[in-house]
Amino acid sequence: MCLLGAAPGLFAQDDLLNMLGDDSTATTPTQATFKSTRVINGHSVETLPRNHFDFRISHRFGRLNSGPYELWGLDVATIRIGLEYGVTDRLMVGVGRSSNQKLYDGFAKFKLLRQSSGARAVPVTVTLLGTAAVNTLRFAPEEDMTFRSRLTYCGQLLVARKMSERLSLQLMPTLLYRNRTNFAGEQNLVTALGAAGRFKIGKRVALNGEYYAVLPDQLNRSYHNALAVGFDIETGGHVFSLHFTNSLGMVEKQFLAETTGQWGEGDIHYGFNISRIFNLGHKAKKK
């Protein structure tokens, strides 16, 4: 009888222990939708962690259809060097300099939402991006290139979802404003929609792709939509990105509104990005 009387209490105690050990109310953020802050040319939804510093080198060679005289583009090189910093886990800033157009650029990037599962499930990651760039090429005096006319601005809403452990997808509605256009009849405001994806094919290797479609009648007919495909290779603190693209430029102003290459004509540039991340925060002391 004593055992029978104690049974309800024992069951109640088991239920309480089960509740305390139940993690169903926890919220789990999704990790590594993309492995880098870039897909290829354009940004991903990822931001640097707080107090992390990224030294980034991006390289583009000439066109593959240039033939053996230029070693299929390897004799020609364009480079961008970037310095980027995580102010918080959600906010990062960066600056860069490109040899193409002697372009200086800067950006700020803020993660609004993070894909999560559990008690507070969020279906997508959403990041805001704002950039500015200035062309510092020397122009002829008669062109009257003031500092203001050299400026270009870009705003993007980056929306991504990690569909599975292997597949991630991203959309990038984009507005680009140029104070001065390259051709008469072009619009100062350019509207584009980008799409990107990442498919993990190995423990440290992933296939990436991105495409930006500019709305019709906004650019000169000599410009085309930018398409890039390539691979990310992780090696500890480094991420190597090897890819092919019809865009020589590596900044929004260039690959969105100034891509002259066509894939069907063989106007393809081989390139790579190298990212080296440093943790500038204080390391925890070993006990």
Q: How far is CA 280 from the centre of its chain?
A: 22
Torsion angle of C-alpha atoms 46, 106, 209, 246, degrees rounded to 10:
180
User: 44-66: per-residue pLDDT in tens?
Assistant: 999 999 999 999 999 999 999 99
pLDDT cut 70: percent of the chain above it: 89
Return mean pLDDT, the chain.
89
Q: Is residue 165 predicted with pLDDT exceeding 90?
A: yes
Residue 5 pLDDT > 70, yes or no? Answer: no
- Overall average pLDDT of the 190-202 stretch: 96
Three-state SS for 219?
coil
The pTM score is 0.86
Domains of the chain, residue spans: 29-278
pLDDT of residue 96: 97
What is the DSSP code string of 248-262?
---SHHHHHH-----
Nearest CA among 247, 234, 218 for reference residue 275:
234
Confidence of residue 287 (pLDDT cuts 50, 70, 90): very low
Q: Which residue has the higher pLDDT, 13 or 178?
A: 178
Instruction: Say which CATH topology domain 29-278 has.
Output: Porin (2.40.160)
Q: Which of 9-23, 35-49, 131-145 has the highest mean pLDDT?
A: 35-49
Cα separation, 154 vs 258, whole angstroms: 14
Give the per-residue pLDDT at 25: 62
